[in-house]
Amino acid sequence: MLLKDKIAIVTGAAQGIGKAIAKMYSEHGAYVVLCDIQEDKVKATALEIEKETGRKTVGLTVDVTKSEQVNAVVEKTLELFGRIDILVNNAGILRHALIIDTDEKMWDQIFNINVKGTFLFTKAVCSVMMKQRSGKIINMSSCSGKKPTLKEAAYSATKAAIIGFTRVAALEMGPYGINCNAICPGATDTDMIRNTFLTSPEVEQEWIDKTALKRLGRPEDQARVALFLASELSDHITGESLIVSAGELMGQ
């Protein structure tokens, strides 16, 4: 077990990539705190994972844009488990719109959830990890933070910001034994993607054709990389952004 008895917080964990990461961490011996704004769904997901793996799993409701709620999650995790070894900042949203059609409300919403949420959870957790002098922080960026994509000005800007934030966090926290890295998924088969741009078989095939491996990503593909970055196998890696896209970027 790569994460035996480690304590992990995963945000945006009610479904999709976050759920896959939480489940894989539990399968590898971790105790996982799942966080999501969807109260019923995150509690049901936590219960499902606990039943499947036999590891204590907790589902907590949180709005990642509210510092008091974020701090409460950290306090509750410490109350339950006494430490925090891993943080995965996965909570995020995607909205498709041309720049001319993007209003301030949409822009602010995407930045608040994707970037501010990552900042707030990292700040809340890093003080704990600094005292422990150990920890792994994994931030979910995107290939859209590496390349331009039509109708993703706000989303792409947030994902590029996460890469920059990750690098600074790695510099600041490295002396305390904390690794901070980002994952940049390509098109991954989740409800969020299905509801935004993979809206027809033709569009799906276009994205598949862009990849070297000729398939969409699966949540488990991203979870495996998150497992690696959370484990001791990645102890000498920090400040990096790992692209997990089936070679999608090579087709640009």
Indicate which residue of 25, 31, 155, 176 is catalytic. 155
- H/E element, 165: helix 153-173
Q: What is the DSSP letter of 183?
A: E
Nearest one of 74, 76, 67, 110 to 91, comparing CA atoms: 110
Letter for the amino acid at 89? N
> What DSSP string describes 54-78?
-S-EEEEE--TT-HHHHHHHHHHHH
Q: What angle do CA 160, 189, 54 make, to 5 degrees?
A: 100
176 belongs to the catalytic site: no
Residues that are catalytic: 155
